[in-house]
Amino acid sequence: MSTEAVAVSAVSEPQQHTPSAPAQAKTVEKVNLLGMSRPQMEKFFEDMGEKKFRAGQVMKWIHQFFVTDFAEMTNISGKLREKLEKICEIKAPEVVHKNYSKDGTRKWVFRVGDGEGSLVETVLIPAEHRSGLRRTLCISSQVGCALDCSFCSTGKQGFQRDLSQAEIIGQLWMANYSYMEEVPVLERERSVTNVVMMGMGEPLLNYDAVLNSMRTMLDDFAYGMSKRRVTLSTSGVVPKIDQMVKDIDVALAISLHAPNDELRNELVPINKKYPLEQLIAACQRYIAKDGNESSRKHVTIEYVMLDGVNDQPEHAQQMIKLLKNLPSKINLIPFNPFPHAPYGRSSRNRIISFQKTLSDAGFVCTIRQTRGDDIDAACGQLVGQVADRTRRAEQWKKKVAAQNEILRSQG
């Protein structure tokens, strides 16, 4: 049973965790409060017989002051703190690798299970902006991914499982905390300014956990981020884009990568299920819902530049036609090759000429800066390297144990 499942059952059956049932308390995991959205935490407190405003207080301690010890929550009574200590915990996923680049990029690999490949990664990219320094965090939503886009390192790792809410919001918590470990509790401030749900996995295939996590990002009792600064990026799960229209207002990005169905079927196989016509129509509906809201004025189109595959002049012309009725900003991403990648990166000249064609047609089109080159490359690649090292270390341990066994048997 995942930690998430434990947390959910605990919300509906809090009596299982009361200190008056010591035999059960020994075997039941503590409830991790880190992942709970405010409505979920309010229900949790009410089920415990506490006032629901306590949820807001605890959320502030967790997400604004980065406190994990209930003893430090000074506006909460000693009795309640003691109670929480017994049945709850505030636990971010374990960091197994971190790397801080000279250019300010930070990258973490988290362990989210026992299996060899139970690793996810999170990247923070700083950039100067006219409104000040932006720190954008790219968050993962699944361990691996089932969608198998042909240019993607994560897709090559296959799908293992969905991340829980605690594991998703834990990435944001840890990135913020990395700037203030040494800062006194009451002087702590949130450092991450923007979030993109664009790391490992397809976020719309882990819908509920991602939705609740994004609600926590927007919540004034937690991260209080503006809805323009939280972006969900999808490869095109059309029914869930329509569901988002009803559930939340955040910015939307589409991993397009090809301007026609034939090529997109090859690069982004989910296109066979939801072809471009359906995808563009869903984006139009997303924008139309609240056309005046700034977070929904346009859709961001992500387009990875693959040498000789999708970067030709005719592809730029097809893009112009495809997007002519969709308010959009286009972001060209120079491909970052990974070992055994079947593609190469388009040349600088090719990318610039592609950009010029789109800009001349009236689109806002940018080229993503490659950052953090001294710490690694494409999404999912660092996890591959860490998993490789873990595997090699385990194989080495087995080899040594086998040799010792032989020596022992030889007397």
Find the part of the chain contacting ligand SF4 (CB under 6 A) among 15-23, 149-157, 238-246, 318-326.
149-157
| Annotated catalytic residue 88 | no
Q: Which of 149, 172, 244, 322 contacts ligand SF4 by CB under 6 A? A: 149
Three-state DSSP at 90 gives: coil
33 vs 382, which CB is nearer to ligand SF4?
382
Distance CA 400, CA 411 (A): 17
Name the minimum Å distance from CB 145 to ligand SF4: 3
**Segments in 270-380 forming alpha helices (H):** 276-289, 313-322, 348-360
Query: Which among 40, 39, 139, 157 is positioned nearest to 92, based on CA atoms?
Result: 139
84 vs 147, which CB is nearer to ligand SF4?
147
Please provide the size of the chain in residues. 411
Three-state DSSP at 234 gives: strand
Q: Which residues contact 81 (CB under 8 A, 6 or more apart)?
A: 70, 71, 73
Name the minimum Å distance from CB 175 to ligand SF4: 19
Find the part of the chain contacting ligand SF4 (CB under 6 A) among 51-59, 152-160, 243-251, 281-289.
152-160
DSSP state, 203? G
DSSP state, 326? S
- Binding-site residue ranges for S-adenosyl-L-methionine: 201-202, 233, 255-257, 336
148 binds ligand SF4 (CB under 6 A): yes
Name the minimum Å distance from CB 237 to ligand SF4: 9
372 binds ligand SF4 (CB under 6 A): no
Name the minimum Å distance from CB 135 to ligand SF4: 22
| Burial category of 357 from C-beta neighbours within 10 Å (exposed 0-12, middle 13-18, buried 19 and up) | middle
| Annotated catalytic residue 121 | yes
DSSP state, 136? E
Sign, CA dihedral 10-53-247-92, equals negative
Three-state DSSP at 233 gives: strand
Active-site residue among 88, 283, 365, 379?
379
Token pair belonging to 98: 């971190």
Lay out the site mask for ligand SF4 across 91-120 (x = CB under 6 A, - = otherwise). ------------------------------
Instruction: Give residues 153-172 in contact with ligand SF4 (rule: CB under 6 A).
Output: 154-155
- Binding-site residue ranges for [4Fe-4S] cluster: 145, 149, 152
Quick check: 153 and 380 in contact, CB under 8 A?
yes
Distance CA 163, CA 141 (A): 6
Query: Which among 251, 253, 240, 325 is positioned nearest to 295, based on CA atoms?
Result: 251
Active-site residue among 121, 138, 167, 283?
121
Distance CA 96, CA 93 (A): 9
145 vs 282, which CB is nearer to ligand SF4?
145
Residue tagged 């020596």 (tokens) = 407
87 vs 139, which CB is nearer to ligand SF4?
139
Q: Which of 255, 271, 300, 355 contacts ligand SF4 by CB under 6 A? A: 255
Distance CA 322, CA 264 (A): 13
221 vs 274, which CB is nearer to ligand SF4?
274
Find the part of the chain contacting ligand SF4 (CB under 6 A) among 13-21, 60-68, 147-155, 218-226.
147-155
Kind and range of the H or E run holding 334: strand 328-334
Find the part of the chain contacting ligand SF4 (CB under 6 A) among 34-42, 47-55, 199-207, 391-399.
199-207
Q: Which of 55, 62, 163, 200 contacts ligand SF4 by CB under 6 A? A: 200
236 binds ligand SF4 (CB under 6 A): no
> Hey, which residues does 135 pair with through a beta bridge?
126
Q: Which of 235, 271, 300, 310 contacts ligand SF4 by CB under 6 A? A: 235
Instruction: Give residues 64-83 in contact with ligand SF4 (rule: CB under 6 A).
Output: none
Residue 144 region by backbone torsions, left for phi larger than 0, else alpha for psi between -120 and 50, else beta: left
Name the minimum Å distance from CB 199 to ligand SF4: 8
The catalytic residue positions are 121, 379
The residues of the shown chain that bind ligand SF4, judged by CB under 6 A, are 145, 147-149, 152, 154-155, 200-202, 235, 255
